[in-house]
C-alpha cells in the first residue's frame, strides 16, 4: 500500500521579520510535510524543523531531480521502509539577500532565531496536530542548516529536545578562515577595499549569470559577516552593514572582528551552553571526511568538547564531501525516530 | 508596472507514449508559460517549445535557485526589458528511465518525436491562443534539448519554423566517443561485460545516493544507446534493450553500432535534410568554447556544413563551459523574438 | 654489501641524424648504466634499451628527486634485492625540437629508428661487454617510450627479442583524438588556421615560461604529426612540415590525414607484423586504469588482438594515472629479468 | 659570441652538520655557477646564494627539462641579454630527511643557518674570486628558499646585504594552517594519533612509489614541525622528535605549539629584526596571485608591516600559481643586478 504523505504550503506573515535590515520579505512560504496517517487519523505527531543550507530555503526541498529525492519523496520512502516514524516536517524560509541568516538574531539581517522560536514553533503547533513538547520536537539540517540546528537547540532546549547537524558550520578557523584569501581575490575584480565589497553587495548579488570566479567565496563572507559581525552604522561609511574579518587590501586577519565571529562558533559556545546541552535527548553530529570546509574536523572538535563536559552525543563520519549529501537525511530521520517521543 | 506572466501546469495523457518500452509514465505534467498580456487581451501569441537537457524535464524549469532565474522569471524579466516578445513557452516532459529520449522515435524508449509533433503541438494549439503556424512556432533547448530542437526542426520544418540549439549534441566522435573509456571504467565496478550493464540498468538508475564514480558517464551511454542503437531483442539475451558502441571488456569501438549512432548525428543528417533546413526562418547555434563535450567544435562543424549547402544560420560562441549556462536562453529568446512572426 | 653500478655518459656522433629535417643536434649524450659486477668481472651482460617518454631524453633518467629514484638508483636497489638481473641499461636521446621522434623514421623529424637499430645497437655491442643477441637484448619504455619499444620490437625481432611497454601510445582514436579539440583551443590564441600553428612552431616551442594554457596539447600534436603525417613540402606553403589531422578552423577530423597516423598505431600494426611478434620472447604490456590518455584501453585492445593472432603476451593493469609511474620500471625490469638470456 | 659560464661542483664537508639530529649526510655537493668572464679575467664578482624550495637541493638546479631552463642556462641567457650582471651563483644543499631545513638552526634538524653563515659563506669567499662584502652578497629563493632568504637576511644583514623572496613562506595562519586537516587525513591511513606519525616518519619518507594521497601535506607538516617546533625528547615518547601543532585525533589547533611556529613567521619577525631590515640594500618580495598556499597574501602582509616600520622594499605580484614559477628568477636576478655592488 505504502501511503504517501501530503505537503501543505503555508504562507506565513512574520511580524518579527517585518522591516528587517535587508528589506527581505516578511511573508514567507512554509512547506510542511504531513505523514501518511495524518490524513487518515486523528493522531498527533512529532515535529521536525528542517533548516536549509546557505543559499537555500524551505521550498527548495520540494524540487525534484533525476537522481535524488525531494524531502517528501524521501520521507514517504523512509516511512514505508519503517526506517522513520511518521513525523511532521517543517521547512522554514530563513534566506536573506546575502544568502542566509544562520537562523540567529542579528542586527545585520533580522531576528531569525526569534522568528523560528517565537513565531513558527507556536504557529505550527496551532495549525497542525503536533505533539507540542520539546521531547517531540527536533531540529536538523545540513551545512548552515546544521549550524542553525546546533545553535537553536543549544539555546532553546525547552523548545527543541533533539538536534542533528550534518556538516554544520563549526570550528570557524578551519571552515571559514581558509577561504578569506579566495574571497579577497574574488573582490579584487571590483576594485579596492570597501568599494569592492560595496560594489559586490550592490551589483553582484542577484540572479544574473554568469557569475565571476570566487563569487561564492565572497557571497559566503558577506552572508556570514552580516550574521556574525553586523555593523548597522557601516552602511553610511562603507555602503554595507557588516565588518569584514580581514583587511580588504592585504587579506590580513582582523582578529578583533574575527573574535566577534568566534562568539558564534558552536565549538566555543559549548562552554556557555553546557547545561542546556545536557538537557537534550539527542545530539547527532556527522560530516563527510572529505568535507571541503573541514567540517568533519569541526565535528570532531565539537564532540571532543561535549565529551569533556560529559554531554552525551552521537558522532558519525561518512566517506563523502560537502556536496550532494542530502542522502544523509536518511540517517538523521532514523536517529530522530529512535529518540523522539511519539 | 512590469506585469508578470502566469504558468499553467497541464496534465497530458499521451496515447503515443502508452506502453512505451521502458514502462515510463504516459501521463506527463506540461508546464506552459503564458506571457503577461495573455490574461489581459484576446490576442494570439507565438509559441516556443523549450526542450530540457539530459536528466531534465519540463517541470524542472520552474525550480527556483538563489543565483539563477527559473524560466518564468527569466521570461518575465526579458519581456519587461523588451528583449523578448510576448510568447507562450511550452516545456515538455520527455524524460525516460535512462535519462532522456533525445526527442526522437526509438524502439528502445518510445515515440517521443511523434509525441511532440502529433500530440503536443496540436494540443497546445487547441488549448491556448497560439498562432498555429510554423513561422510562429519555434523549438529550442540546450544540451540534449538543443539536439532535440535541431533534429525536430530539421525533420519538421512545417511544424517548427525556427530552431535554436545551445550546446546541442553534435559531432558524436567528439561529444560521446571520448567518454566511452570513462563509461567502461564506471561499469567495471559492477562486473564483467553485459552483466555489468545489466546490473547498472537494473540496480543503479534510481534516486539512491551516493552514486558511484563515473555514474553519469554510464547513464549517458545507456541514455544515448537506448535512443540511437536500440535492440529490443537484447532484453532476453543481455538484460537490456540496446547495443553498446564499444566492446564491454576492452573498450574497443564497435564501429557497426557506432555507425547506427552516427545516423542520428546532426552533422551527418544535414545531407539528408538540407532541403528542409533551407525552409527554416531561423537556425541559431551556439556553444561555450570550454564545453567539456566539445560541443563548440560540434557547432562549428555543423555550421561549416550548413555553409557548404548555402543554408543560412547564426553561430555564436561564448566563454563558458557546458554547465550553468541557462543564461544563454536570454540570447535564444532574443533571436527567436527577432525572427518569429507575431 | 650491495655494490653499486656505474654510469658512463657516452657522446655519440650520429651519421644518420646528421642534417635531420629539424636541425636537431646529431651528437647526443648517451648514458649507460653498468651493473655492479661489470667492474669486478669479465662477464658479458644482457642489454636493455630504455626509451624516454615525450619531451624526455636519456640524461633525464639520471635526475634525482626527493621522492623517486633515478634509473641508476632504481637498478642498484632492484639488483641488490635480487628482483632484477645484472643488466646494462642504455638510455638513448631521441628527442626532437617538437618533443620527440616516437623512435621511428620520419621525413618530418629524422631516421630515429635507423639511429637506434643501425647505430646505437652495434655501438653498444662494440663498446661494452654485452651479450650481442636478440634473446639478450630488450627494449622498454613508458608513454612514448612504450610506443617506441612496441614498434621497434615488432619491426626488429632479430634485434630486440623482448619488449615492455608501460602506458605506451596505442589505439590512437582514444589516446590522441580526444585531445584534438584542446589542441585547437590552444592554437586559437595565436591566430587562425595554419598561421596559428606556424606561430606556435616558430615562437612557442622553447624554454620560455610561463607557457599558455593547452601548450602541451599543441606540442603533443606537433610532435606526433611530425612523426606520423610529415609533409616536407609543407614548409613552404604553411611554415611547418607536417599535416594536422583536423581542420584548423572547425576542428573537424581530417580522416585522410588521420588514416596516415593510424598506419603507425600498434593496434593496427599487429596484422602486418604478426609473424615478427610471434618471434619475441617477451611481450609485456601494462597501463594504469586511470590513464588520462586511455592507454589502459589501448593496452587491452592491443592484447585482445595479440590473443586473436595467438601471440603470447603478459598484460597487467595498476591503479594509477599516466603520471609519476616510473615505479612501474620495477615490474618491467623484473619481467625482463625472468625472460632475458644471460 | 655569448660566452657561457661554467659550473663547478664542490664537495663540502661540514663540521656543523656532523652528527645532526636526523643523521643526514654532512658532506654535501655544492654546485657553483661561475659567469663567462670568470675564466677569462682576474676580476672579482658579486655572489648570490640561491636557496632551494622544500624537497629540493642545490644540484636539482642543474636538471634539464624540455620546457624550462636550468639555473646555468638561465644565467647564461640573462647575462648575454644584459639583464643580469655577471655574478657567482651558489646553490647550497640544505635538504633533510623530512624535506628541508628552512635554512634555520633547529634542534630537530641541525644548524643549517650556521652552516650557511659560518661555513659556506667564508668557504665560497676563500675558494672563488668573490667580492666578500655584504653589499655584494645576495640571498634569494622561492617557496621555502624564499623563506630562507628572508630570514637569513633579516638576521645577518652584515652577511647578506640583499634578499629576494619569491612566494616565500609567510603568514603561517594562511600558508600552513589550512592544510592541517589534509595532513590529518593523510595520517589517518596509518593509524591513530602519534602512531600514525611515527609510522609515516619511519616507513613513508623514502623514494618508494606510489605515494598515498595527501603524502605531501604530511611531509610538509613533518618538515616544518622539525624546524619550528622540535622536541628532541619526543623521540622516546612518540617516536619522532617534534611537536605537531594540532591534535592528532581531532585536528584541533594546538595553540601552544603553533605559537612556537609563529616565532619563525617572517611577518611576526619584522618587529624583532626591524633594525637589521633597515640595513638591507634590497628587499624584493613577489608571489603569484593564485598561489595555492596564499603566499601572495603573506607577501602583502609582510610588506604592509615593512611599510609601517618605514623599511624600503619592492613588492610585485604575477598572474600565476605556486608551481612552475622558476621563470621568476629572471626578475630576481634582474633586481639583484640593479642593486648589488660589483
Identify the burial level of D215 via C-beta atoms within 10 angstroms of its C-beta, where 0-12 means exposed, 13-18 middle and 19 or more buried.
Answer: middle
Contacts of D300 in chain A (CB under 8 A): 249-252
Residue A2 is predicted with a pLDDT of 62
Find the mean pLDDT for residues C90-115: 98
Tell me the pLDDT tens digit for each residue of A33-44. Answer: 999 999 999 999
What would the mean pLDDT of A19-36 be, rounded to a whole number?
Answer: 98
* Mean pLDDT, range C126-136, rounded to an integer: 98
Report angle CA C323, C329, C335 to the nearest 5 degrees: 140
Mean pLDDT of B266-279: 98
Give the integer Cα–Cα distance in Å for B165 and B161. Answer: 14
Query: Does A80 contact B at CB distance below 8 Å?
Result: no
Among chain C residues, CA nearest to D324: C210
Please judge whether C177 and B181 are an interchain contact, meaning their C-beta atoms are less than 8 angstroms apart: no
Average pLDDT over every residue of C99-115: 98
> What confidence tens digit (pLDDT) does each residue in D244-283 have?
999 999 999 999 999 999 999 999 999 999 999 999 999 9
pLDDT band at C2 (very low <50, low <70, confident <90, very high): low
- C-interface mutation test, from B177, B178, B302, most C Cβ less than 10 A away: B178
How does DSSP classify residue B145? H
C254 and chain B in contact, CB less than 8 A: no
**Do A99 and B66 form a contact (C-beta atoms < 8 A)?**
yes
Assess whether pLDDT exceeds 50 at residue B107.
yes
Across the interface, whether the CB atoms of D297 and A184 are under 8 A apart is answered yes
- Considering only CB atoms, A209 lies closest to which of B59, B210, B327, namely B327
pLDDT in tens, A241-281: 999 999 999 999 999 999 999 999 999 999 999 999 999 99
Contacts of D132 (CB under 8 A, 6+ apart): D125
Residue of C nearest to B304 (CA): C250
User: Complex ipTM, two decimals?
Assistant: 0.96
Please determine, for residue B3, whether its predicted confidence score (pLDDT) is greater than 90: no
Q: Which residue has the cell 659567469?
A: D35
Say if B65 is an interface residue toward chain A (CB within 8 Å): yes
Q: What is the mean pLDDT of chain D?
A: 97
Residues of C within 8 A of D207 (CB-CB) are 65-69, 73
Mutate to test the interface with A, among D245, D250, D285, D298 (most CBs of A within 10 A): D250
State how far the Cα of A207 lies from the Cα of A204, in Å rounded to an integer. 9
Q: What is the overall mean pLDDT for chain C?
A: 97
Residues of chain D neighbouring C210 (CB-CB closer than 8 A) = 320, 324-325, 327
Classify residue B204 by its DSSP letter: I
The CA distance from A179 to the nearest CA of chain D, in Å, is: 9
Interchain contact B177–C (C-beta under 8 A): yes
Best of B31, B64, B66, B330 to mutate (most A CBs within 10 Å, chain A): B66
According to the model, what pLDDT value does residue C1 have?
Answer: 47
- The whole-number pLDDT of residue D3 equals 85
Q: What percent of chain C has pLDDT over 90?
A: 99
- pLDDT > 90 fraction of chain D, expressed in percent and rounded: 99
Q: Is D189 on the interface with A (CB under 8 A)?
A: no
Q: Look at B177 and C177 and tell me if their CB atoms are within 8 Å.
A: yes
Please state, rounded to an integer, the average pLDDT across all residues of chain B: 97
Q: How far apart are the CA of B180 and the nearest CA of chain C, in angstroms?
A: 9
Mean pLDDT over A22-38 rounds to 98
Residue from C66, C218, C326, C327 whose CB has the most chain D CBs within 10 Å, to mutate: C66
Say if the Cβ atoms of A326 and B209 lie within 8 Å.
yes
CB-closest option in B173, B181, B300 to C294: B181
Q: What is the pLDDT of chain A when averaged over all its residues?
A: 97
What's the mean pLDDT in D130-149?
A: 98
Of the candidates B171, B251, B294, the beta carbon closest to that of C301 is on: B251
What average pLDDT does this structure show over A219-229? 98
pLDDT tens sequence across B164-215: 999 999 999 999 999 999 999 999 999 999 999 999 999 999 999 999 999 9
Q: What is the pLDDT of residues A107-122, one digit of tens each?
A: 999 999 999 999 999 9
pLDDT at C161 over 90: yes
Nearest-Cα residue of chain A relative to residue D303: A250
Q: Do chains C and A touch (3 or more CB pairs under 8 A)?
A: no
Q: Which residues of B touch C249 (CB under 8 A)?
A: 300, 304
Contact in structure between B38 and B6 (CB atoms under 8 Å): yes
A-chain CB neighbours of B327 within 8 Å are 208-210
State the nearest Cα–Cα gap between D175 and chain A, in angstroms.
Answer: 9
Contact C173 B177 (CB under 8 A): yes
Yes or no, beta carbons of C304 and B177 under 8 Å apart: no
C323 and D CB contact within 8 Å: no
Distance from CA of C30 to the nearest CA of D (A): 15
CB atoms within 10 A of CB D190: 18
Chain D residues in contact with A178 by the CB 8 A cut-off are 174, 177-178
| Among candidate residues B88, B159, B126, B108, the one with its CA nearest the CA of residue B12 | B126
Chain B with chain C: Cβ pairs closer than 8 A: 61
Query: CB of B46 within 8 A of CB of B138?
Result: yes
Q: What is the pLDDT of residue B1?
A: 46
Q: Name subunits touching A (3+ CB pairs < 8 A).
A: B, D
Instruction: Show residues of chain B in contact with C300, CB under 8 Å.
Output: 249-252
Could you read off the pLDDT of B50-66 as tens digits, one per residue? Answer: 999 999 999 999 999 99
Residues of A in contact with D180 (CB under 8 A): 174
Judged against a pLDDT cut of 70, whether residue D36 lies above it is answered with yes
B3 vs A5, higher pLDDT: A5
Q: What is the pLDDT of residues B135-165, one digit of tens each?
A: 999 999 999 999 999 999 999 999 999 999 9
> Does D2 have pLDDT greater than 70?
no
C51-100 pLDDT, tens per residue? 999 999 999 999 999 999 999 999 999 999 999 999 999 999 999 999 99
Question: Residue D243 in contact with residue D279, Cβ under 8 Å?
Answer: no
The one-character DSSP state at D240 is S
Residue D1 has pLDDT above 70, yes or no: no
**Which residue does chain A place closest to B208, by CA atoms?**
A68
Q: How open is the CA angle D28-D31-D32, to the nearest 5 degrees?
A: 135
* Residue B2 pLDDT class (50, 70, 90 cuts): low
Q: Are strands B137-142 and B47-51 parallel, antiparallel or unpaired?
A: parallel
How far is B169 from B296, CA to CA, in rounded Å?
10
The residue assigned the cell 561564448 is B318
Q: Does D95 touch chain C (CB under 8 A)?
A: yes
Interchain contact D320–C (C-beta under 8 A): yes
What is the Cα–Cα distance from A40 to A86, expressed in whole angstroms? Answer: 12
Sheet holding B88-90: strands in order across? B6-13, B27-34, B88-90, B47-51, B137-142, B162-166, B282-288, B314-318
Q: What is the pLDDT of residue D18?
A: 97
- Set of chain C residues whose Cβ sits within 8 Å of the Cβ of B296: 181
Interface residue B321 vs chain A (CB under 8 A): no
Residues of A in Cβ contact (< 8 Å) with D247: 304
For residues C5 and C80, is the Cβ–Cβ distance under 8 A? no
- Residue D160 near residue D139 (C-beta atoms within 8 A): yes
Return the pLDDT at A1.
Answer: 47
Given this model, what pLDDT does residue D253 score? 98
**For the segment A119-173, what is each residue's pLDDT rounded down to a tens digit?**
999 999 999 999 999 999 999 999 999 999 999 999 999 999 999 999 999 999 9
pTM: predicted TM-score of the whole model, two decimal places: 0.97
CB of A249 within 8 Å of a chain D CB? The answer is: yes
Amino acid at each position: 500500500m505504502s501511503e504517501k504523505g501530503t505537503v501543505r504550503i503555508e504562507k506565513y506573515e512574520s511580524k518579527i521579520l517585518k522591516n528587517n535590515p535587508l528589506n527581505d520579505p516578511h511573508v514567507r512560504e512554509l512547506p510542511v510535510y504531513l505523514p501518511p496517517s495524518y490524513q487518515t487519523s486523528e493522531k498527533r505527531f512529532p515535529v521536525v524543523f528542517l533548516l536549509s543550507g546557505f543559499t537555500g530555503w524551505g521550498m527548495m526541498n520540494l524540487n525534484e531531480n533525476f537522481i535524488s529525492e525531494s524531502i517528501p519523496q524521501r520521507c514517504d520512502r523512509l516511512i514505508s521502509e519503517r526506517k522513520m516514524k511518521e513525523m511532521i516536517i517543517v521547512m522554514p524560509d530563513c534566506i536573506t539577500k546575502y544568502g542566509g541568516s544562520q537562523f540567529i538574531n542579528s542586527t545585520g539581517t533580522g531576528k531569525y532565531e526569534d522568528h523560528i522560536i517565537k513565531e513558527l514553533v507556536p504557529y505550527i503547533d496551532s495549525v497542525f496536530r503536533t505533539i507540542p513538547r520539546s521531547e517531540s520536537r527536533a531540529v536538523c539540517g545540513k551545512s548552515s542548516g546544521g549550524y542553525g540546528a546546533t545553535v537553536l537547540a543549544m539555546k532553546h532546549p525547552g523548545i527543541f529536545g533533539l538536534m542533528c547537524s550534518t556538516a554544520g558550520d563549526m570550528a570557524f578557523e578551519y571552515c571559514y578562515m581558509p577561504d578569506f584569501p579566495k574571497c579577497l581575490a574574488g573582490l579584487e575584480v571590483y576594485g579596492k577595499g570597501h568599494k569592492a565589497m560595496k560594489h559586490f553587495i550592490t551589483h553582484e548579488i542577484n540572479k544574473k549569470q554568469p557569475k565571476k570566479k570566487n563569487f561564492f567565496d565572497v557571497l559566503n563572507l558577506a552572508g556570514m559577516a552580516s550574521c556574525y559581525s553586523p555593523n548597522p552604522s557601516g552602511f553610511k561609511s562603507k555602503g554595507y552593514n557588516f565588518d569584514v574579518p580581514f583587511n580588504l587590501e592585504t587579506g590580513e586577519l582582523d582578529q578583533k572582528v574575527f573574535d566577534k565571529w568566534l562568539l558564534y562558533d558552536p565549538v566555543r559556545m559549548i562552554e556557555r551552553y553546557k547545561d542546556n546541552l545536557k538537557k537534550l535527548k539527542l545530539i547527532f553530529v556527522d560530516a563527510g571526511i572529505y568535507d571541503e570546509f573541514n567540517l568533519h574536523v569541526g565535528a570532531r572538535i565539537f564532540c571532543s568538547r561535549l565529551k569533556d563536559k560529559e554531554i552525551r552525543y552521537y558522532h558519525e563520519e561518512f566517506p563523502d564531501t560537502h556536496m550532494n549529501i542530502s542522502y544523509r537525511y536518511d540517517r538523521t530521520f532514523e536517529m530522530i525516530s529512535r529518540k523522539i517521543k511519539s
